[in-house]
Amino acid sequence: MKPEVVAIVAVAKNGVIGAEGGLPWRISGDLKRFKALTMGKPLIMGRRTFEALPRPLLGRELVIVTRRPSLSAPGARFARSPDEALEIAREIARASGAKEICIGGGGEIYRALLEATDRVELTEIDLAPEGDAYLPPFDLARWRETARVAPERGPRDEADYAFVTLERRRG
């Protein structure tokens, strides 16, 4: 059975997903959800997203898309294109028994792998910050919302937020 491809993304009301190599908000519940959704699974991300990480993401097999052949990092594999990254992630999933492949950004990677994506785990952030990375638009008619949860805002959260699951419509 082919592993499901799941894009995991937090997006503000204005489509912003990043600013200056990081997140333009602090939502601890979103970070905890990202960790829970990606743990033990292959995780595809672009080089800039990878370089913006504050520390290694333990417990996940990282596949980094980059045009820099000299880039290396312990525990990460590198691909020259999003399609190559997806193939590497499928190999990892087969070998490890993972039922999902996760896509962790940024915008170019989400855009390039959108057609291969089966599900989107979206965190809607109730802010409109300035940013330099945006979620590419996608045809909502091709997706259906299957879950929505609005957790109570925690003391360290900068805004209200909701977790939304979108599944690709088939047929």
The model's pLDDT over 1-36, given as tens digits with 9 standing for 90+, comes to 799 999 999 999 999 999 988 899 999 999 999 999
Collapsing DSSP states into helix, strand and coil, what is residue 94?
A: helix
How far is C-alpha 9 from the chain's CA centre? 5
Q: Look up residue 19 and give its DSSP letter.
A: B
Q: Mean pLDDT throughout 101-119?
A: 95
User: What's the whole-number mean pLDDT along residues 103-129?
Assistant: 95
In terms of residue numbers, what domain contains 148?
4-168
pTM of the entire structure?
Answer: 0.94
Domain tally, the chain: 1
What are the tens digits of pLDDT across the range 38-94? 999 999 999 989 988 877 788 999 999 998 877 778 889 999 999 999 999 999 999
pLDDT in the model for residue 100: 98
Question: From CA 83, how far away is CA 16, in angstroms rounded?
Answer: 24
Q: What is the CATH number of the domain that holds 148?
A: 3.40.430.10
Contact 134, 32 (CB under 8 A): no
